[in-house]
Structure 1
């Protein structure tokens, strides 16, 4: 139940992020909804494909489609107000990254995969939708740029796996893991932390 709630909240958050990016790119209503859905569902679909879960969980229950569609429509209708909340959008994106990372990691552990696989799948769950969003907008995916993004997701996934191996309560572990992701992401934005690039480049 905890995983389902986390995923639905994450779907709304990521859909808002994708829909706002689509509005800024001047896509029409259909494009805004498609990009919102892609951003929201992409990571979960990649996770399920990697775990051999078919059809993907997000395509088997109507709330997984209804929540991101409703969110995208809301952003389309009220995008001027949403656009003014830049800091709030960045916060929501960080929260979505944390929620999807921990839920993806927990799902992978439940499927019985090795610890390192669960970490990688959890990270992919968090960053997959955003990467697909950027590719559809013909941008270099955020996770491949210098900003600390995928590293934050991987750190949260490691916490979830470690907590599960230690037998700690799942609610506590997921909360700590998601919080760690959000904190790392926000501090990186605040302090302008970047991953290193090849020397000699400007």
Structure 2
């Protein structure tokens, strides 16, 4: 069972989605849940179905004391690398929260201080703490919607299905059509054995 309220603080949970994708932004969310919040389905977004995530997202947005989502685009990912871009996305959404969090719970093992707000990195935190799980759901659903919109412009890549992840479908489209402005040029877009230059 997930911890409903880490350390009893007015604490923001934060998580990202899309770190391993070849295309599209890395997206982060931050959520402050009210003390005592509980939902029996809420968990790490990767353990939920798309329908469960879509049902949970409006509940989280309605019940949260504060929430925000932020995207960092591929050009910035290419410039500062995916780790720094993930942290930047977290910082952007945390800065939007009102009230300002008294503490930050971060999914994963890397973060950079945001002002003087204390933080803790928590491995697999999205499966342990409700505020991080809530952030993971908002980050995932918002990014999925973003990729569905991009799919309308570039339907060849199947982003409505693969969300920019390196599936065979996505790789084959890259071989046939090459990269778009939404691809991360610093990533290995194709396996090394495919000697294709973009």
Q: Shared fold (TM-score greater than 0.5)?
A: no
What TM-score do the two structures reach when normalised by structure 1?
0.29
What TM-score do the two structures reach when normalised by structure 2?
0.29
Q: Pick 1 or 2: higher relative contact order, CA cutoff 8 A, min separation 6.
A: 2
More helix by share: 1
Larger-Rg structure: 2
More strand by share: 2
